[in-house]
Amino acid sequence: MKKTLYFSFLLLSLLLLTTGLLAATSKRVIGSLPSQDLSLKEWKQKASFNEYCMSCHKIDLSKTLKSGEKLNLKVNLNEIKQSVHGNFQCIVCHSDFSKTKHPLYRFKNKREYAANLSKQICQKCHTDATLRRNQVHYTISKTASCIECHGYHGVKPAKIGKNLPENQYCLTCHSKSITKKLENGEVLSVKVDGSHLLSSVHKDLKCTDCHKGYSKTEHPIKKIASLKEYRKQAIEICKQCHTKEVDQFNKSIHAKAFYQEKEKAPDCIRCHDYHKVARILPNNELKFNLCASCHGEEAKAYKDSIHFKALSESKPNAPNCSNCHKAHDVLPVSMAKLNDSCLSCHKDSKKAHNKWLYNPPFTLESFVDVHFKSASCSVCHAKGEKAVMLSLVDKAKKTGITVEDLSKALNWSVEEVKNKIDLNKDGLVQEKEFWQFLNTVKQKVKVELKGRLDLVNSNDAHKILSKKEAIKDCTVCHSSEAKFAGVLEINKEGDKTLKTLVDRKILNSVYAIPNVRDFYVLGLSRISVLDILFVLAVVCGIGFGLGHLSLRIITTPIRRKRREGK
Amino acid sequence: MKKVYLHPLPVRIWHWINAISFIVLIITGLQIRLVDKINLMSFESAVKIHSWLGFILLANYFIWLCYYLFTGKIFKIYIPPFWRPIEFIKKAFNQAKYYAYGIMVGDKNPHHPTPDSKFNPLQQVFYFIIMIFCIPLQILTGLVLWDPVQFAWLESLMGGIQIVSLIHNGLWVFYGFFLFVHIYLSTLGHTPLAHIIAMFTGYEEEHEEHTEH
C-alpha cells in the first residue's frame, strides 16, 4: 500500500512537472497568452489588437535605418492609455497593419520616418481642412512632423496658451527641431535655441520685432526659393533697425560677393550669428580673430607688423582690421582710400612729415598732401615690392571701370579680359601690348588711366614697419631706375582686383601724356623722348654757334678785302 | 665811337639774375630729372635750389614786367609792329639775310639799336615770345609741379599734370637751344665781348659798323 501510494505521488509529481514545463514553453513562444487553455490560433483570433501588437512591441525592439539611426519600436501601452488616443486600438492609426499583415517599411532616416508618420497616419484624421482652423498649426504641419510637438504614442494635446509671453509662445514650437523645406529642396532649420536668444544683444526684443507679420494669430507661410535667398531676406530683417549698417554693407565688396552668391561671402549672420546675435565686442583680439577666420593670409601678414605687436601688447589703440578697412563698408583696396584710414589714427602725421617733406622756400603741408594723394602710406611704411598701379577710369563719370564693364562693352567674357591685355601670355604686358589694349578699350569706352604708388601685393601692406624703418630717401621713388613694377589693376565686382604686371616703362612713353593725364612722378615717370630732344637742342644750339663762327672765320678774307676796298 | 645807353640798371639787374637763375635751374632740373645718371648734388639739394630759384625767377620776372610797364617801353621794344606786317616781314627777312650772308661778306647790320628800339625784328619776335609766353608759362607750370595740391586749379586748367610737365620740360628743351644761341649771338658785337660788357655797363659802343648783340 505504501509502495502504491509512493508510486501514485511520483506519477502525480511527474504530471505536474510536465504540465508546468509545457506551460513555460508555451509562454516563451507566444508571450503573454491570456489563458493557458487557449491554443495560439484561438488566442490570435480572440486577442484585441492592442494585446496582439503589444505581445511583441512591449519588448525592447529596434530597427536600424539606412542612415544608421536606430528607431525604437518598443511601445509603452500605459502611455497610450493616458494619451488623448487612450481608447484607440493600434490599427486605428496603423491601419495598414493587422493580425495577418505586417508590412515592412524601409525609411532612410528618422526625418523621413517622422514625415511619413505625420502624413500617412496623423493626417488621415487631422486633415488639412481641420488644421486650417488654426493657421499657425496648419503652417507648422506643413513644415514639421506632428510628433515634434505631440509626441509618439503618448499623444498630448499641444495647446499653447495665448497668454504666454510672446517669445515663450513662439519658442513652444520653435525650440523643437522643426525644419522648413525650401522650394529648391534645401532644408532650413527653424529651430531657435532659447538660450541663444537670452545670451544675445537682442535678449530684450520680442520675436515679432524682427519677424514682422507674425503674431500669436498670424503665421504666414513664406515661400523661400533657397537657403541663399533666405539669407538675403535675413539681411532685410536686420535692415529694419540697422539701416545705416546694412546700407554701408551693401556698398561693400562683401555685399557684392554675397549677392553674386559666392561661397563663403559674408552677410550679417556670418559675422553676428543668427539668434545668438552678438555685438562685435570692443576686444581688439576678438575682432581680429573674426576677420582672420576667413582672411587667413592677410592675418598672417598682419602678424608681421608693428600694428600686431601693439595688439599683442594689448595697447588700447592698437589697430585691428576694421580700423583700416571699416566694419561694414569694406571696399576693394584700390577704392578704399586706405591712406585716410592711416590718417584717422596718425592724426599728426602731416605735421611730422612736413618737418622734412616740404617745398622751399615755404613749408606748406599741402606738399605732404601731394605725396599722400599719389602714394599709399605702405609704399614707405611697409615691406614689399613696390609698384606703379594704373587703373582704368571712366573719363566722364570718373569712376573705376570693372572687368565686368569691359566684358560688357567689348563683348569679351570676364575670363577673356586678362588674355586680351597680355596677348602673348608671358606674364608681363609689354608697351606695345598695353597701348594696343588701351586703344581697343577706348574704341568702345571713354577711359583714362589713373595712377598711384602702392605695393604689388596688397597683402604686404599689412606688414607695417616701425617708424625708424620707414623710407625717407626721395630717390627710392624719384628716379627712372627706381625699383617699381608696373601693375594694371581692374576692379572686379565682388572680388579682388584683377592685377596684371605691365612694363613700367610705359610711363616713360609719350602715349602716357594723354592717357595718364593726372599722374606724374618726378624722375620715375619722366618722358624719355624729352631727354633726347634736350640733348638734340643743346647740340643744335652749340652747332649753330660753331657753324656760324666757322663760316665767319672762313669768310674773313672776303670781309678783309672789302674793308681794304679791293 | 659813340656810346648809347641801351640797358638801364633795372634791366641789367634783371638780366644777370635771370641768366644765373636760368643756368642753375637747367642744371638742377637735370639733376632732379636724371638722378640716376647725374650726380652733381643730392636730389633733395637739387629740389631745394630749384624751388628757391624758381621763386627768384618769378620775382625777377615782375621786376622786368614792372619796369617795362611803368616806363611804357614794353610796347616800343617788345611788341613787334603787327599792324605793319609787310614792312616788318621785310625787315625781318633782311635781318635774317644779314646773319646768314651779309655778316660773312662785311655788310652793315640793317638794324641800328636805340634806347627805344633796341631789338632787331628777329630779336623782337624771339624776346616777345620768350618774355610774354615762355617765361610766364615756365613759372606757372613750375608752380604746379612745385605744389600740385596748392595749384590744383591751375593744373586742371592746363589739362592735367602730364601736360603741365610736358610744357615745363618742353620749354627746358627750348632753353637748352636758346642758351647757347644767345651766348653765341652776344659775341657778335664789334668785339666778341662788346655786348656782354654793355650788359654790365649799360652803354653799347656804337661802332662804325652796326653790330648785333
Indicate whether A22 pLDDT > 60.
Answer: no
Kindly report, residue by residue over B101-117, the tens digit of the pLDDT.
Answer: 999 998 988 888 888 88
Instruction: Give the residue ranges of DSSP H helices in A76-134.
Output: 77-82, 90-93, 110-116, 123-125, 128-131
Higher pLDDT, A111 or A382: A382
Q: In chain A, which residues have their Cβ closer than 8 Å to the Cβ of B147?
A: 359, 364, 366-367, 370
Kindly report, residue by residue over A404-417, the tens digit of the pLDDT.
Answer: 999 999 988 888 88
Here the cell at position A385 is 615690392
Write the DSSP string, A274-302.
STT-----S-HHHHHHHHHTT-HHHHHHH
Indicate whether A30 pLDDT > 50.
Answer: no
B42 to chain A, minimum CA–CA distance in Å?
Answer: 9
Query: In this structure, is residue A210 part of a structural domain?
Result: yes
Of A290, A294, A293, residue with least CA distance to A281 = A290
- Domain match, A249 and A370 both: no
Those residues whose C-beta lies under 8 Å from the C-beta of residue A565, and which sit 6 or more positions away, are none
Nearest CA in chain B to A555: B104
Kindly report, residue by residue over A288-333, the tens digit of the pLDDT.
Answer: 888 998 999 999 999 888 998 988 888 888 888 888 888 898 887 7
If phi > 0 it is left, if psi is from -120 to 50 it is alpha, else beta; for residue B183 that is alpha
Q: State the number of CA atoms in the 13 A half-sphere of B190 facing the CB.
A: 12
- Domain match, A426 and A482 both: yes
Structurally, chain A folds into a number of domains equal to 5
Indicate whether A284 pLDDT > 90.
Answer: no
- Domain match, A366 and A376 both: yes
pLDDT for A11 equals 45
CB–CB of A538 and B177 under 8 A?
Answer: yes
CB A341 within 8 A of CB A324: yes
Indicate whether A104 pLDDT > 60.
Answer: yes
pLDDT for A116 equals 83
Classify residue B144 as exposed, middle or buried by CB count within 10 Å of its CB (0-12, 13-18, 19+).
buried
Query: In this structure, is residue A315 part of a structural domain?
Result: no
Query: In this structure, is residue A284 part of a structural domain?
Result: no
pLDDT for B207 equals 62
Query: In this structure, is residue A297 part of a structural domain?
Result: no
Query: Which residue pairs from A230-234 have beta carbons closer than 8 angstroms and sit at least 24 positions apart in sequence?
Result: A230/A182, A230/A188, A231/A258, A231/A267, A231/A269, A232/A258, A232/A259, A232/A267, A234/A267, A234/A268, A234/A269
- Domain match, A124 and A69 both: yes
Nearest CA in chain B to A509: B162
Kindly report, residue by residue over A331-370, the tens digit of the pLDDT.
Answer: 877 777 888 888 888 999 999 999 999 999 999 999 999 9
- Domain match, A76 and A126 both: yes
Domain final position from A128, A159, A190? A159
Kindly report, residue by residue over A420-454, the tens digit of the pLDDT.
Answer: 888 888 889 999 999 999 999 999 989 999 999 99
Determine which of A353, A359, A484, A555 to mutate to test the interface with B (most B C-beta atoms within 10 Å): A359
Indicate whether A31 pLDDT > 50.
Answer: no
Q: In chain A, which residues have their Cβ closer than 8 Å to the Cβ of B145?
A: 522
Query: In this structure, is residue A326 part of a structural domain?
Result: no
**Pick from B33, B149, B163: CB nearest A517:** B163
Distance CA B148, CA B154 (A): 9
- Domain match, A501 and A445 both: yes
- Mean pLDDT for B53-57 is 96
Kindly report, residue by residue over A535-544, the tens digit of the pLDDT.
Answer: 999 999 999 9
Q: In chain B, which residues have their Cβ closer than 8 Å to the Cβ of A520?
A: 161-162, 164-165
CB A384 within 8 A of CB A464: no
Kindly report, residue by residue over A117-170, the tens digit of the pLDDT.
Answer: 887 888 888 888 888 887 667 777 777 788 877 888 888 776 677 788 888 888
Of A54, A254, A223, A235, residue with least CA distance to A139 = A223
How many CB contacts within 8 angstroms connect chain A with chain B?
Answer: 126
pLDDT for B208 equals 55
pLDDT for B93 equals 96
Nearest CA in chain B to A363: B147
Question: Domain extents for chain B?
Answer: 2-118+181-206
Query: In this structure, is residue A314 part of a structural domain?
Result: no
Neighbours of A124 (CB within 10 A): 11
**Pick from A373, A514, A526: CB nearest B149:** A373
Nearest CA in chain A to B99: A548
**Pick from A517, A534, A562: CB nearest B160:** A517
Q: In chain B, which residues have their Cβ closer than 8 Å to the Cβ of A537?
A: 173-174, 176-177
Percent of chain A with pLDDT over 70: 92
The model's confidence at residue A61, banded by pLDDT at 50, 70 and 90, is confident
pLDDT for A12 equals 45
pLDDT for A101 equals 86
pLDDT for A419 equals 86
Determine which of B57, B180, B187 to mutate to test the interface with A (most A C-beta atoms within 10 Å): B180
pLDDT for B187 equals 93
Least confident of A81-90, A136-145, A273-282, A424-433: A136-145
Indicate whether B198 pLDDT > 90.
Answer: yes
Indicate whether A19 pLDDT > 60.
Answer: no
Distance CA A457, CA A506 (A): 20
Q: Which residues of A195-220 are buried (b: 16+ CB within 10 A; e: fewer)?
A: ebbeebebeeeebeebeeebeeeebe
Of B6, B4, B40, B1, residue with least CA distance to B23 = B40
- Cα angle A466, A471, A473 (rounded to 5 degrees) comes to 155
Query: In this structure, is residue A352 part of a structural domain?
Result: yes
- Mean pLDDT for B207-212 is 49
A456 to chain B, minimum CA–CA distance in Å?
Answer: 23
pLDDT for A36 equals 58
Q: Which domain range does residue A473 map to?
A: 331-526
Q: Which residues pair with B205 in a beta bridge?
A: B3
B109 to chain A, minimum CA–CA distance in Å?
Answer: 14
Q: In chain B, which residues have their Cβ closer than 8 Å to the Cβ of A364?
A: 147, 150
Q: In chain B, which residues have their Cβ closer than 8 Å to the Cβ of A366?
A: 147, 149-150
Kindly report, residue by residue over A185-226, the tens digit of the pLDDT.
Answer: 898 888 899 888 888 889 899 999 999 988 887 888 788 999
The model's confidence at residue A557, banded by pLDDT at 50, 70 and 90, is very high
The model's confidence at residue B132, banded by pLDDT at 50, 70 and 90, is very high
pLDDT for A35 equals 54
DSSP state of A222: P
Nearest CA in chain B to A552: B104
Q: Which residues pair with B5 in a beta bridge?
A: B203
Query: In this structure, is residue A316 part of a structural domain?
Result: no
Instruction: Give the residue ranges of DSSP H helices in A355-470.
Output: 366-374, 377-381, 403-410, 416-421, 431-444
Classify residue A507 as exposed, middle or buried by CB count within 10 Å of its CB (0-12, 13-18, 19+).
buried
**Pick from B106, B146, B159: CB nearest A558:** B106
Q: In chain A, which residues have their Cβ closer than 8 Å to the Cβ of B44?
A: 474
pLDDT for A41 equals 80
- Domain match, A43 and A101 both: no
Indicate whether B138 pLDDT > 60.
Answer: yes
Q: ipTM for the complex?
A: 0.93
- Domain match, A363 and A467 both: yes
Determine which of B27, B33, B109 to mutate to test the interface with A (most A C-beta atoms within 10 Å): B33
Here the cell at position A439 is 586703344
CB–CB of B177 and A541 under 8 A?
Answer: yes
Kindly report, residue by residue over A508-521, the tens digit of the pLDDT.
Answer: 999 999 999 999 99
Q: In chain B, which residues have their Cβ closer than 8 Å to the Cβ of A355?
A: none
- Domain match, A99 and A6 both: no
- Domain match, A559 and A507 both: no
Distance CA A211, CA A192 (A): 13
pLDDT for A493 equals 78
B107 to chain A, minimum CA–CA distance in Å?
Answer: 9
The model's confidence at residue A556, banded by pLDDT at 50, 70 and 90, is very high
- Domain match, A484 and A437 both: yes
- Domain match, A188 and A336 both: no
pLDDT for B164 equals 97
Distance CA A52, CA A38 (A): 14
pLDDT for A220 equals 82
pLDDT for B51 equals 96
Here the cell at position A115 is 514625415
Indicate whether B58 pLDDT > 50.
Answer: yes
CB A456 within 8 A of CB A390: no
Kindly report, residue by residue over A45-59, the tens digit of the pLDDT.
Answer: 888 888 888 888 888
**Residue A442: what residue type?**
K
Supply the mean pLDDT for chain A.
Answer: 85
Q: Reduce the DSSP state of residue A454 to 3 states and report it.
A: strand
CB–CB of A537 and B145 under 8 A?
Answer: no
